Chain A
């Protein structure tokens, strides 16, 4: 034993010397070398590492990770094998999620713009500045949050705005992302969020990706399918897209359609199902109504008969669809034949291709409709499922209802009954909640960037957990126009300097991810909980605390809305012993579990739409639970995987088989929609001959504020680029890596060209990823929205490309 120990020491010395040399060599080679933690001295460096569970910080898939913590720092990450979502697997972002905390330029103290310069201020002063801005003009104050808000954070902000300030100007960035999926679900089923679950991916025979590059954007879910195939499972993958991607490489069929051709394809499938008599007559007769928007676009439209529906579909012959979409008629037949078969299970997935679409609600409706029409619904493997891009777009933005038209639990601000219920649950006087919808995202920013004397009636926006300075469309108009408007005030709570903090007047440093307690809700209705594991750097503090501190300050400054019916502060917190804790005093915030109190308060809202949530402590034990989570006779809590299906959903009447118990027509039926084809809002012409599409890459998450600071991810894709077809490049004498100017009617951007790169756009088509804050592709995009969901179409506008000489100016645009 003694000899072994000696050898160990000697070898360890050698190892650390070599490791040092390796680090030097690696940094010279431009590869980031991990640095050995100073504390590693024993033969077993695992000693002292505490492991805990958390959902991943990044996308809406909702993988669980194990977080290894040592000496108040995250030191390792593992995929959580106990999690049903990812079963131990992660993607490269997930494996490096711990590094997102340790960018050297973390914001560590509040900063206020004084005479044009950002100066450090105390939290005391910062909270005061926010409260006074609110008090000065309560109706011109807005909160712009995100699908990365934890559920309690979103809940506090929502309650503060709607019940405290009687102000509905609260929006999440999910408006730019999931709003169209919401209107799709509401208009088809009468209630939001998918009926199916990720289990469908394990059971489907056919997986259809509708404009969905799942291999890069939801890689763990994609692997769930292709790994099944690799182990002998039979599944056919059909990729419908406007450019070839990594997903196409794994697909059995790649069907390339022209922008907005998806509308034609969906109608073509419905046309053939009816014409060939292969639609599911029994399912349709029992469970479906027919609807359309006869005149104007609206959420619920008008009813139509089956005969009218047939007539409306009549023009969508495969040949006509081929003309509109560019997909050959035989492939339309192929899709219709698959949907016409009862012996196959078909799952459809989509994400931003559908949702960021000038006809987004309609294309969502059509996809649900062909599943309903063909009866590919309500059985494991048969599901139309929208995927989300943010970890709590569902849990916070949609379920807590942090949108200008929602109240918690799927209620609407315009519905008097819903307002009365919320007023009662919040114990505020009747009439406290305002019946008028607030401004949706695009309108909110437009009003903020418009001078006050020209109708710009939003004067202060508090941005939390998001980066609109990079992610809004048409940035010149909707964000950068704020510059020079003296009476407008931008407050930004974030963890790093971003394109948004550039224009901020007050910057508040936030705690992130496992630096705080939290709950997220993923794409498959799964609510997930985690505990704080490490302390945030410097003076960074929880977003929920920031909201509570401002609420308390408003209360103390005498704003009447911050008191409930009984004259008590709107937010009260009692510890287990029943003693009130003033958690708005930061040193006392973690004296108790604030998240638990807020979640239990919020949970009371979840029943009305049968989105039942379990008590907080159940989520502590589980790796997430999918609502409705219903208590059983023996006191245990049971989650629901397949909604509206009798075999799994306890709210379906016995014997009904399938029951749409929140039907908008109150007859337990879902709505099959007809929606015509129309071209995109802006189409290429002689001046702007190219389509421009924007999106993401696997290595970076959204605006890249976290992933660009992770050496391994930044190293893999260090800067944005524009992808174009080789023949288009050749025509313009453009070579790989050459600098070009991409121009639209809204702006121009200088960046390198990538020909035959990761994805292959067809001729006449460009693609730019939006992660790089130095190359803001949203200076080019269009702010046209879906008329129903108000979500912008980032996926198609007209652009032109010209070769830029090496001296044509500096890269990017700001």
Chain B
């Protein structure tokens, strides 16, 4: 008899132990299962949209809830007084072609445009220097503004006029140096005694056959496959077209003098063809395949969009 209660106690204690183990096992595994459930809800087999920047959270996926961003991914720069600052250039990009007629330009605006062009070039036809500091190691950042073109109040970033050339800094260099500071006064001095090159100035005005006739194009089209780069809404006011809704510029505006026919003293043909053709007195430069196809595609693409 003495053993019965003790065995009861022992049985109860054993049950309690089993129950305890079960409770601990369930809670521990439940804890981890719960975590697993969270991960499975995230559906890791599907590609996840990476939240790289807190501002992405403002975009709620369709039919979903906003995803929490990891602390590591929080944009710490957005603390403090500049927290609201956004480098969101895409939101600033202007429409590429406006259907609304632009205000008629004035002679003052045109003169300002011509003088700005002269300031930034060694001669008419030279690639303009860059009037602001640039990122030194890559040219991808140039296209953030100059790809689509950008107008913020009176500041303009002209649209690239030769899109398929992607090494921008090959031709366009900053006028203000590398941005590398130095205390060495000797290095800041001019080199040599200057240069007295005098380049050909801006091209002249176009001509009209009669008052009201479409003006001719007074400059070469080499490297200028996109007329709207200068003459569109993100061009300088003095150069803008009054009718950006018309896409096919060369339908009405032709070159004058015919700049595609550049006379050269040493005309002739190239490469394997040498000696096979009679030398012409003028050479058609618009026949060179390298410079045209992309521009043509782009123009077609744009007019399709307009339709």
Q: Which residues of A contact B195 (CB under 8 A)?
A: 32, 99, 102-104, 709-711
Q: Is A51 an interface residue (CB 8 A)?
A: yes
Which residues 687-746 in A have Cβ within 8 Å of B in the complex?
Answer: 698-699, 708-719, 721, 736-737, 739
* Chain A, range 228-255, C-beta contacts under 8 Å to B: 230-231, 244-246, 249-250
Asked if B262 lies at the interface with its beta carbon under 8 angstroms from chain A, I say yes
Residues of A104-127 at the interface with B, using a CB-CB cut-off of 8 Å, are: 104-105
A402 to B170, CA, bound (A): 32
Q: Give the residue of A98, A625, A716, A737 whose beta carbon is less than 8 angstroms from that of B274.
A: A625
Contact B123 A77 (CB under 8 A): yes
A53→B164 contact, CB < 8 A = no
Chain B window 174-218, contacts with chain A (Cβ cutoff 8 Å), 1 for yes, 0 for no:
111110111110111011111111111111110110010000001
Query: With A496-B192, A812-B186 in contact, do A758 and B136 touch (Cβ < 8 Å)?
Result: yes
Whether the pair B192, A708 counts as a contact (CB closer than 8 A) is yes
Q: In the complex, are the beta carbons of B167 and A222 less than 8 A apart?
A: yes
In angstroms, Cα B175 to Cα A31, docked, is 6
Residue from A249, A620, A713 in contact with B137 in the complex, judged by beta carbons closer than 8 Å: A249
Which among B112, B186, B263 is the interface contact of A774 at CB below 8 angstroms? Answer: B186
Known: A34-B122, A78-B125, A757-B136. A227 touches B266 (CB 8 A): no
Chain B nearest CB, measured from A773 CB (Å): 9
Q: Are A101 and B290 in contact (CB under 8 A)?
A: no
| Interface check B68, CB cutoff 8 A | no
Bound-state CA distance A752–B186 (Å) is 12
**Cα of A474 to Cα of B163 in the assembled complex, Å:** 45
B273 → chain A, closest Cβ, in Å?
A: 9
Q: Is B119 an interface residue (CB 8 A)?
A: yes
A567 interface residue (CB < 8 Å to B): no
Whether the Cβ atoms of B115 and A19 lie closer than 8 Å is yes
Which residue of chain B lies nearest to A90 when distances are taken between CB atoms in the complex?
B171
B288 A88 Cβ-Cβ under 8 A: yes
- Assembly CA distance A222 to B170 (angstroms): 10
Assembled-state Cα–Cα distance A109/B205 (Å): 43
Size bin of chain B's contact surface: 35 or more
Interchain CB contact under 8 A, A105 and B123 = no
Chain B residue contacts of A222, Cβ below 8 A? 167, 170
Which residue from B167, B178, B223 sits with its C-beta under 8 Å from A758?
B178
Within 8 A of A (CB), among B262-307: 262-272, 274-276, 279, 283, 285, 288, 290-291, 293-294
Given contacts A37-B198, A96-B122, A736-B180, contact A714 B262 (CB under 8 A): no
Cβ contact within 8 Å between A88 and B291: yes
Question: Which secondary structure dominates chain B's binding surface?
Answer: loop
With contacts A15-B114, A754-B180, A757-B180 known, is A99 near B122, CB below 8 A?
yes
User: A502 at the A/B interface (Cβ < 8 Å)?
Assistant: no
Q: Known contacts A719-B182, A757-B136; is A33 also within 8 Å of B192 by CB?
A: no
Verify B137–A8 contact, CB threshold 8 A. Answer: no
A416 proximal to B (CB < 8 A): no
- Which of A39-47, A138-146, A427-435 lies at the interface with chain B? A39-47
Interface size on A, residues (CB 8 A): 122
Assess whether A226 is in contact with B119, with CB atoms less than 8 Å apart: no
Cβ-defined contact, A44 with B257, below 8 A: yes
A748 within 8 A of B: no
Which residues of A22-74 are within 8 A (CB) of B?
22-23, 25-26, 30-38, 40, 42-46, 49-53, 66, 68, 70, 73-74
Given known A716-B177, A717-B178, contact A230–B164 (CB-CB < 8 A): yes
> A76 and B194 in contact (CB under 8 A), knowing A11-B107, A14-B111, A15-B111?
no
The interface residues of chain A lying within 8 Å CB-to-CB of B191 are 708-709, 714, 718
Closest partner residue, chain A, to B256 (CB atom): A44
A284–B202 Cα distance when bound, in Å, is 60
Contact of A105 among B193, B257, B268 (CB under 8 A): B193
A698 to B171, CA, bound (A): 9
Question: Do B169 and A76 touch across chains, with their CB atoms under 8 A apart?
Answer: no
Contact between A227 and B165, CB atoms less than 8 A apart: yes
Contact A811 B164 (CB under 8 A): no
Whether A318 sits at the interface, judged by CB under 8 Å, is no
B129 touches A33 (CB 8 A): no
Q: Is B17 an interface residue (CB 8 A)?
A: no
Cβ–Cβ contact A46 & B203, under 8 A: yes
Distance in angstroms from A247 CB to nearest chain B CB is: 10
- Complex contact A42–B204 (CB within 8 A): yes
* CB-based nearest B residue for A245: B137
Question: Would you call A88 and B122 a contact (CB within 8 A)?
Answer: no
Contacts of B223 in A (CB 8 A): 79, 88
A99 vs chain B, min Cβ distance (A):
4
> B124, B136, B174, B272: which has the most chain A beta carbons within 10 Å?
B272
Q: Is A618 an interface residue (CB 8 A)?
A: yes
Which of A389-397, A455-463, A631-639 is near enough to bind chain B?
A: A631-639
Residue of A43, A223, A249 near B170 (CB, 8 A) is A223
Chain A hits for B288, CB < 8 A:
81-82, 87-88
Q: Report if A549 contacts B (CB, 8 A).
A: no
Name which of B166, B192, B197, B207 has the most chain A CB atoms within 10 A of its CB.
Answer: B197
B-chain residues with CB within 8 Å of residue A721 when the two chains form the complex = 178, 180, 182
Does any Cβ of A come within 8 Å of B12's Cβ?
no
B contact residues around A38 at 8 Å (CB):
198
A624 to chain B, nearest CB (A): 8
A739 CB contact (under 8 Å) in B114, B182, B196, B200: B182
Query: Judging by beta carbons under 8 Å apart, are B222 and A45 in contact?
Result: no
**A34-B199, A760-B137 given; A621·B175 CB < 8 A:** no
B20: interface (CB < 8 Å): no
A608 at the interface (CB under 8 A from B): no
Q: Are B175 and A715 in contact (CB under 8 A)?
A: yes
Q: Which residues of B contact A92 (CB under 8 A)?
A: 127, 169-173
Q: Does the CB pair B201–A36 fall under 8 Å?
A: yes
Would you call A344 an interface residue if the criterion is a C-beta within 8 Å of the partner chain's C-beta atoms? no
Tell me if A181 is interfacial: C-beta within 8 Å of chain B: no
B138 in contact with A718 (CB, 8 Å): no
Contacts of B293 in A (CB 8 A): 231
A752 and B271 in contact, given A33-B119, A230-B164 (Cβ under 8 angstroms): no
Among B118, B180, B190, which residue has its beta carbon within 8 angstroms of that of A36? Answer: B118
Identity of the chain B residue whose Cβ is nearest the Cβ of A773 in the assembled complex = B191
Residues of B within 8 A of A579 (CB): none
**Chain A residues whose C-beta falls within 8 Å of the C-beta of B178 in the assembled complex:** 716-718, 721, 754, 757-758
**Residue numbers in A under 8 Å from B220 (CB-CB):** 78
Contacts of B116 in A (CB 8 A): 22
Q: How far is the CB of A100 from chain B (nearest CB, A)?
A: 9
A811 contacts B222, C-beta separation under 8 Å: no
CB pair B177–A22 under 8 Å, yes or no, is no
Instruction: Decide yes or no whether A129 CB sits under 8 A from chain B.
Output: no
Q: Is the CB of B119 within 8 A of A104?
A: no
Contact (A531, B118) CB under 8 Å given A44-B257, A710-B195: no
Contacts known (A31-B176, A37-B200, A639-B272); A103 close to B115, Cβ less than 8 A: no
Residues of A within 8 A of B200 (CB): 37, 40, 45-46, 49, 68, 70, 75-76
Q: Please, could you name 30 A-B residue pairs with CB atoms under 8 Å apart, sorted by A?
A: A14-B108, A15-B115, A26-B119, A35-B198, A35-B199, A37-B200, A43-B207, A78-B220, A102-B195, A103-B195, A105-B193, A222-B167, A222-B170, A230-B165, A244-B137, A249-B138, A639-B271, A698-B170, A708-B191, A708-B192, A710-B122, A711-B194, A715-B173, A716-B174, A718-B178, A718-B188, A719-B187, A736-B181, A752-B182, A757-B136
A-B pairs, 6 with minimum CB distance: A621-B268, A716-B173, A737-B181, A636-B275, A43-B204, A102-B197
Residues of A within 8 A of B (CB): 4, 8, 11, 14-15, 18-19, 21-23, 25-26, 30-38, 40, 42-46, 49-53, 66, 68, 70, 73-79, 81-84, 87-92, 95-96, 98-99, 101-105, 215, 219-220, 222-223, 226-227, 230-231, 244-246, 249-250, 496, 531, 614, 618, 620-623, 625, 635-639, 641, 698-699, 708-719, 721, 736-737, 739, 750-752, 754, 757-760, 774-775, 806, 810-812
Supplied contacts A716-B174, A717-B173, A752-B182, 4 more A-B pairs, CB within 8 Å: A81-B288, A621-B267, A711-B195, A758-B178
